[in-house]
Structure 1
């Protein structure tokens, strides 16, 4: 049993999924390997609703995986997102997940690879 913030996890896999589980968190995180403005991230994920992206970003920020920087020096307001040092520890895992998906897509004739 593993405990973080008074929440119990039966195994380390469930603990990992607490941070990256769900349909879009890992996808958002892999895009944030490089710093992106909110609108840039939206363009990268056209199939995800604005509300979903906003909620996932909030959760990722609360979990300490990403940081949100607001630049107010001149209009229009500029908001950037990037991985924190803690979030960067996920990069090898995110890249491995991405590579597994790429290889699966190549080897599975039922999956169409669209550029």
Structure 2
């Protein structure tokens, strides 16, 4: 029995530790409307490939952190992604990561110019 694979921390990091997962959750949290389409997420996450974005969205949906709503009343069919209650709850962890980074590691011009210290995250 591999105790690492049974560890809650190990399991959680396995879910959210993949590249782009935290960024996707953060982007879905940001803004006034809670839903974003694939292309909007692709624009916000400039360096992500469509293949990776698709894979991460599917994984986050399978883990219950995001939900996908398909609107087939219009053409082309539109898929909207939003955080689930579990995903919204996870935002507090992202807030803690930000607070740690600001306290111990990062104070950079990009963050200061975007009013990072004052954002609601």
* TM-score (norm. length: structure 1): 0.77
C-alpha distance 102-75 of structure 1, shift in aligned 2 (>3 A): farther
Verify: 1:113 aligned to 2:110, yes or no.
Answer: yes
Task: Provide the residue aligned with 1:27 in structure 2.
Answer: 23
By how many angstroms is 1:18 displaced? 2.4
For residues 97 and 81 of structure 1, the distance between their equivalents in structure 2, rounded to whole angstroms, comes to: 23
User: 2:46 is paired with a residue of what secondary structure?
Assistant: coil
CA RMSD of aligned residues (A): 2.4
For residues 95 and 20 of structure 2, the distance between their equivalents in structure 1, rounded to whole angstroms, comes to: 15
By how many angstroms is 1:102 displaced? 5.0
Counterpart mapping for 1:77-96 below 5 A: 77-96=77-96
User: 1:105 is paired with a residue of what secondary structure?
Assistant: coil
Higher helix share: 2
Cα distance per residue 1:29-87 (max 9 Å; x no partner) = 11111321111100000111110000000111111111001101111221100011121
User: 2:60 is paired with a residue of what secondary structure?
Assistant: helix
Higher strand share: 1
Unaligned segments of structure 2, at least 5 residues: 115-121
* TM-score (norm. length: structure 2): 0.74
User: 1:113 is paired with a residue of what secondary structure?
Assistant: helix
For residues 77 and 99 of structure 1, the distance between their equivalents in structure 2, rounded to whole angstroms, comes to: 39
Counterpart mapping for 1:30-69 below 5 A: 30-33=26-29, 34-69=34-69
